[in-house]
Structure 1
Amino acid sequence: MNKKIILQDLGRKDYKATWDYQEEIFAKIVSQKIEKRNQPEIETDNYFLFVEHPHVYTLGKSGDMSNLLLSEKQLTEKGATFYKINRGGDITYHGPGQIVGYPILDLENFFTDIHKYLRFLEEVIILTLKEYGLEGTRSEGETGVWLGVGTPFARKICAMGVRASRWVTMHGFALNVNANLGYFDNIIPCGIKGKAVTSLHVELGREIDEAEVKEKILKHFKVLFEAEMV
């Protein structure tokens, strides 16, 4: 089992270009898995991509178009794009000030349990938030990480949506760090009405060092997945 993960920080990159790149890596890993049947000594690769997207809304395969509250003209006016994509979940927003992580892993190198995989992704973010004095938690039946669950002020700080096929993962998480939350007003985030969205800088009342947050995310990811970043 190869527990080495190739780390790439793509900087700011167009959503569609990044999605195409994910698909390319995904196809390569699936191809390696097929070869491995005949040559067991072949190792399959694992990747972890960090990226920041220009303003974009994405709708998961089970999502409802009515959760996008903008027309095509209004999207253009706001400098945003929109894509229907092949991850789970409903609608979400990506943009500047948000740390997006796409682990493209062969889970057969780690564990073959999608539920556990999602819980581990959530735990990575929960442990990262704890380092900033915030208590992130899960919300029953809702993937992602929240603050204030069980109070009238429940708010989502990290959205998650993944795709897995042949135990290879795609897509991942989006943590609001210095995000412009006004863009969330144009959607019903994740299709969940009546719940707010927040960002790390709003909770702490100051701008956050995003490079520092990435370091903390990677630290917890490596421990939970017993992995090595290369």
Structure 2
Amino acid sequence: MNKKVHIQDLGLKDYKETWDYQEQLFKDTLDLKIRNRREELSLVTPNHFLFVEHPHVYTLGKSGDISNLLVDEKVLAAKGATFYKINRGGDITYHGPGQIVGYPILDLDNFFTDIHKYLRFLEEMVILTLAEYGIKSERSPGETGVWLDVGTPFARKICAMGVRASRWVTMHGFALNVNADLGYFDMMIPCGIKGKAVTSLNVELGKKEIDLDEVKQKLLKHFQVLFEAKINEKTEV
């Protein structure tokens, strides 16, 4: 079992370019697993974890409802935003500057073969990170992601999640609002869940801006412990 995870920070990168890159890494790992089985080999499968910020973009999961996007593409274009239908689970999500997006492309055969445990560990990674900033966050029953003040009229989501897995290889991941422009969430029903607000770490802390690199390092620290992973040096691409 290979627990080494190669970390890449892609910086600010177009959604479609990043999606294509994810798909290539995902396919390479799947192809290697298929070859191992077909030829009775034991070649080591790699694990990747991509950090990225995207220009303003809305993505709709395969089970999502397009009516949860509240404006047409002309309005999106005027706001400098794009839209894609994609192959992850979940409904509609927004990505933009000031948001840490993480895409773990892991072969779960190297860790554990349980997709629910995988999602709970990603949530726990975020919950533990937010706790370091004095923010108490939690899960909301039946709703993937990380929330604040669950069960109250003030419930609000700070981190969205949506993943895809095939042969225990994962892609897509999480989006944590750190310095996000929350106005962009007004153009959709986030994750298709009506009546729930969205928030960002800087808003909760009453600060103009939080150091993104600092948050990424905290996320990686907790990821490493939860997944018992060995982290390779982070590289810029």
TM bucket (normalised to shorter chain) is over 0.9
- Aligned residue number for residue 235 of structure 2: none
Read off the aligned partner of 2:107 and give its amino acid letter. Answer: D
> CA offset at residue 31 of structure 1?
1.1
- Aligned residue number for residue 154 of structure 2: 153
Deviations 1:47-99 (A, max 9, x none): 00000000000000000000001111101100000000000000010000000
Q: Alpha carbon RMSD of aligned pairs, Å? A: 0.7
Q: Residues 133-172 of structure 1 correspond to what in structure 2 (within 5 A)?
A: 133-172=134-173
Q: Is residue 149 of structure 2 the alignment partner of residue 182 of structure 1?
A: no
In 1, Cα distance between the equivalents of 2:213 and 2:41?
38
In 1, Cα distance between the equivalents of 2:143 and 2:95?
19
Q: Is residue 132 of structure 2 the alignment partner of residue 131 of structure 1?
A: yes
**Runs ≥4 in structure 1, deviation > 3 angstroms?**
none
Read off the aligned partner of 1:211 and give its amino acid letter. Answer: D
> CA offset at residue 35 of structure 1?
2.1
Q: Is residue 229 of structure 2 the alignment partner of residue 224 of structure 1?
A: no
Q: Percent of counterpart pairs with the same letter?
A: 77
Read off the aligned partner of 1:196 and give its amino acid letter. Answer: A
- Aligned residue number for residue 51 of structure 1: 52
Q: Where do 5+ consecutive residues of structure 2 fail to align? A: 233-237
In 2, Cα distance between the equivalents of 1:136 and 1:35?
42
> CA offset at residue 229 of structure 1?
1.1
- Aligned residue number for residue 117 of structure 1: 118
SS of 1:211's partner is helix
Q: Residues 30-109 of structure 1 correspond to what in structure 2 (within 5 A)?
A: 30-37=30-37, 38-109=39-110
- Aligned residue number for residue 16 of structure 1: 16
In 2, Cα distance between the equivalents of 1:119 and 1:40?
32
In 2, Cα distance between the equivalents of 1:4 and 1:40?
20
In 2, Cα distance between the equivalents of 1:34 and 1:160?
28
> CA offset at residue 39 of structure 1?
4.6
Alpha-carbon contact 1:36-1:43 (below 8 Å) kept: no
Q: Where do 5+ consecutive residues of structure 1 fail to align? A: none
What is the number of equivalent residue pairs in this alignment? 230
In 2, Cα distance between the equivalents of 1:72 and 1:215?
36
SS of 1:153's partner is coil
> CA offset at residue 36 of structure 1?
1.8
In 2, Cα distance between the equivalents of 1:27 and 1:123?
27
Deviations 1:169-220 (A, max 9, x none): 0000000000000000000000000000000000001110110000000000
